[in-house]
Structure 1
Amino acid sequence: MNGATTRRLPGPVRVGLSRAWLETREFARHWESVAFTFALPALILLLFGVIFDGSTGDDISAAEFYLPGLIAMGLMSVSFQNLAISIALERENGTLRRIRGTPMPPSAYFVGKTALVFVLALGQVAVLLAIAVGVYGADLPTDPGAWATMVWVLVLGTISCALLGIAFSSLARSPSTASAIVVVPFLALQFTSGVFVPLTILPGWLVNASSLFPLRWMAQGMRAAFYPDEAAVLEPSGGWDLSTVAAVLGVWCVVGLVLTLATFRWKTSEDG
């Protein structure tokens, strides 16, 4: 038009990745957030490795026994818990309202948050593996298939929990209530999803209830990756059931997306 060069605006993915870089740097500036995000699973692994040393038998150390469940717990922490609380805070302080008023595509915001969560997820796994191997000399899998299982469980589990965290952020009226809404059910699920104790010693109704949520299947998938095959007898069905793990986590990805699209709010209820 009149010799002017038409410039194509960057797409949502490119803008979202740029925002992910911004959010990652912003997150890294606050050491309290970094410590809070990574400290709890790492501290539990350190303590359990000492407290339960020798109580898990000769074939597997305490660190190796608790590592898969704590990885699943850590992934849910950096995705579900982190996003539910941080987005509620951004909604309360007006950050979301200001972002919605910019030319940035709304989908770029979610791309940025998802990319940030994956950075944190990889960091969480790296910290736990470093403690298990460096402090307790844990043996890691040598089969490439086991690592492939860990990767797809990490991806599906993190996406499903991230979407649920985004949806949960809209339930809270303030950041303070967000902590209660998120932390209480997350804590309950840790004790009923095989993170700390085998599912076979829990009441059947409790196992059935925990099976409705992603954490139980994330922990089972991680155990399939890290435990020897004969340890599958510790599962309620006597097997790893990886097809069921993939199906349930896949369904939760779809459910989380539907809930996010249906409930997400850019403004508080007081803003109208």
Structure 2
Amino acid sequence: MSTPAVASAQPSRLRIHALEARNESLRMLRSPMFVFPTLMFPLLFYVMFGLLLNHGNAKAATYLYVSYGVFGTLGTSLFGFGVSVANERNLGHLLYKRALPMPPSAYLIAKLAMAMLFATIISISLFVLATTLGGVHVTAMQFAELLLTNVLGVLPLAALGLYIGTRVPANGAPAVINLVYLPMSLLSGLWMPLSTMPPFISKIAMALPPWHLAQIAFKVVGYDSGQPLWLHVAVLAAFTIVFFLLAQRRLQRNG
């Protein structure tokens, strides 16, 4: 007679995932070392390059509004996964999580939810700056499409961050992430159009996931380089699957 009562007292899988996502998001929001670079860098760069250096140039302000949205998604995905996973491996938190009576997927989904929250905050903040101070004009539909692109763009970039976090030691993770984050941003055309760089840079960019994500975002405002949407989506999907599988294999092997 007591079995149904015990079963009904157990929290649902949805509630477990929601609580884990909430706690992870609050933990990262309370971490200045994570909040400042991930939230403030895209906004500060946009103010400097999109508003001050290109004052009155609506086209440049629009380009940088879109590109810094992807830049923010890249940062929150790499640091939110790469550095935090490396630290948690070092502290033994991953082994502790495995011992808890919670679905194994809760850990990963919580981090994805956290990264998507930060991507949303960055996207909305850039929109406010761009439309109020930068002279940028986008429709409500365009804003929604850009927001959705950045939020879903967390998936392939987080896969890369997760893989790095499973490979590097905790004390070396920030340096490794920066060695990936900054050059990848530049080579993907997130700081300036690739047309202003040597031609070989464009060939390198096509192998980088942020470039494909940026091209999807640029399509929304008509600034893309003309490749079909399905190509960018296919590359990002393949990148997501490959690096999540590599990271999963690494975690199963070493924890």
Give the TM-score of the pair, scaled to structure 1. 0.83
- Report if aligned partners of 2:69, 2:150 keep a CA contact under 8 Å in 1: no
* Cα distance in structure 2, aligned partners of 1:14 and 1:81: 26
Task: Quote the residue 1:169 is aligned against.
Answer: 165
* Cα distance in structure 2, aligned partners of 1:47 and 1:179: 25
1:153-191 CA distance string (max 9 Å, x none): 324421111122111101112x22111221112111111
Higher normalized helix content (fraction of residues): 2
Which aligned pairs between 1:16-165 and structure 2 lie closer than 5 A?
A: 16-48=17-49, 49-54=51-56, 56=57, 60-139=58-137, 141-142=138-139, 144=141, 146-147=142-143, 149-165=145-161
* Cα distance in structure 2, aligned partners of 1:80 and 1:244: 23
> Could you tell me how far 1:267 is from its partner in structure 2?
6.0
Task: Quote the residue 1:252 is aligned against.
Answer: 239
Task: Quote the residue 1:210 is aligned against.
Answer: 205
Residue 172 to residue 13, structure 1, CA distance change in 2 (3 Å): farther
- 1:185 paired with 2:172, answer no
Identity in percent = 24
- Report if aligned partners of 2:123, 2:150 keep a CA contact under 8 Å in 1: no
Residue 36 to residue 179, structure 1, CA distance change in 2 (3 Å): same
Task: Quote the residue 2:250 is aligned against.
Answer: 263
Match of 1:197 among 169, 175, 192: 192
- Report if aligned partners of 2:159, 2:244 keep a CA contact under 8 Å in 1: yes
> Could you tell me how far 1:20 is from its partner in structure 2?
0.7
Larger displacement relative to structure 2 (122-131 or 146-155): 146-155
1:48-87 CA distance string (max 9 Å, x none): 1211335x5xxx3432221111111100111123210111
Residue 14 to residue 208, structure 1, CA distance change in 2 (3 Å): farther
> Could you tell me how far 1:39 is from its partner in structure 2?
0.8
Which aligned pairs between 1:225-240 and structure 2 lie closer than 5 A?
A: 225=220, 227=221, 229=222, 231-232=223-224, 235=225, 239-240=226-227
Aligned residues between the structures: 252
Which residues of structure 2 form unaligned runs of 5+?
A: none
Which residues of structure 1 form unaligned runs of 5+?
A: none
* Cα distance in structure 2, aligned partners of 1:73 and 1:3: 54
Residue 255 to residue 151, structure 1, CA distance change in 2 (3 Å): farther
1:78-97 CA distance string (max 9 Å, x none): 11232101111111122222
* Cα distance in structure 1, aligned partners of 2:12 and 2:207: 36
* Cα distance in structure 2, aligned partners of 1:130 and 1:266: 45
User: Residue 153 of structure 2: SS of its match in structure 1?
Assistant: helix
> Could you tell me how far 1:35 is from its partner in structure 2?
2.3
- Report if aligned partners of 2:34, 2:79 keep a CA contact under 8 Å in 1: no
> Could you tell me how far 1:135 is from its partner in structure 2?
2.7
Residue 13 to residue 203, structure 1, CA distance change in 2 (3 Å): farther
Residue 251 to residue 125, structure 1, CA distance change in 2 (3 Å): same
